[in-house]
């Protein structure tokens, strides 16, 4: 059973994907829920609060640590674990039909609202650091050179960042295959 607070967030999330953040009006959210506009204001002080709450939720969802747990990585298993964890990430994001569009909305919003830009950049930076640390295990295993770590961490970050765009489309290539190829490329000397 879900609370009204949660119901509002769920409907708003869907509308942000379908209609866009700016064009999603409080009236529209109320209408879809079968309640009145002031009822939403009882739970959220403003539309901005609704936008911020969903953004914070999303940022937690996409954190590096949710998909790649550094503690489980060893110089021995790094290749296979990178591949498997990436596949799990792709699968999870594909399971949410609104994910890509809502992210795209927030990305556009970040052009005008510094707060979002800073946070999105931060999340990307953590991916960069995370992949850097994982790739250093590959250095220890003599798979790659230390000097190549930085560039290849950037490379993997870019791929991860771009993969969701290819997730819900019928490009007759599984994004998982691209990820697998990218991991092999990143670990090739």
Partner DNA sequence: GTCTATAAAGCGATAGAC
Partner DNA sequence: GTCTATCGCTTTATAGAC
Residues at the interface with DNA (CB under 7 A): 4, 23-28, 30, 34-39, 41-43, 45-48
Site for its own copies in 149-168 (CB under 8 A): 150-152, 154-155, 158-159, 161-163, 165-166
Which of 66, 185 has the CB closer to its own copies?
A: 185
CA torsion, points 161, 162, 166, 167, in degrees to nearest 10?
0
- Cα(157)–Cα(155) distance, rounded to whole angstroms? 5
Asked whether position 18 contacts its own copies by CB under 8 A, the answer is yes
Site for its own copies in 19-48 (CB under 8 A): 19-20, 22-23
Return residues touching its own copies (CB under 8 A): 17-20, 22-23, 101, 104-105, 107-109, 111-112, 121, 128, 150-152, 154-155, 158-159, 161-163, 165-166, 169, 171, 173, 177-178, 181-182, 185, 188
């Amino acid at each position: 059973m879900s609370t009204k607070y949660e119901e509002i967030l769920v409907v708003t999330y869907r509308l942000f994907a379908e209609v866009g953040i700016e064009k999603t009006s409080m009236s529209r959210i109320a209408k879809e829920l079968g309640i009145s506009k002031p009822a939403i204001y009882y739970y959220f002080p403003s539309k901005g609060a609704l936008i911020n709450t969903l953004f914070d939720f999303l940022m937690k969802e996409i954190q590096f640590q949710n998909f790649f747990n550094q503690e489980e990585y060893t110089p021995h298993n790094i290749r296979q674990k990178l591949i498997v964890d990436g596949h799990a990430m792709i699968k999870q994001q594909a399971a949410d039909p609104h994910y890509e569009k809502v992210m795209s909305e927030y990305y556009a919003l970040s052009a005008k609202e510094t707060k979002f830009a800073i946070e999105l950049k931060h999340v990307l930076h953590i991916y960069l650091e995370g992949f850097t640390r994982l790739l250093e295990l590959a250095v220890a295993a003599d798979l790659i050179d230390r000097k190549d770590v930085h560039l290849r961490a950037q490379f993997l970050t870019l791929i991860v960042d771009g993969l969701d765009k290819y997730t819900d489309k019928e490009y007759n290539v599984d994004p998982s295959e691209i990820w697998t190829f990218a991991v092999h490329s990143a670990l090739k000397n």
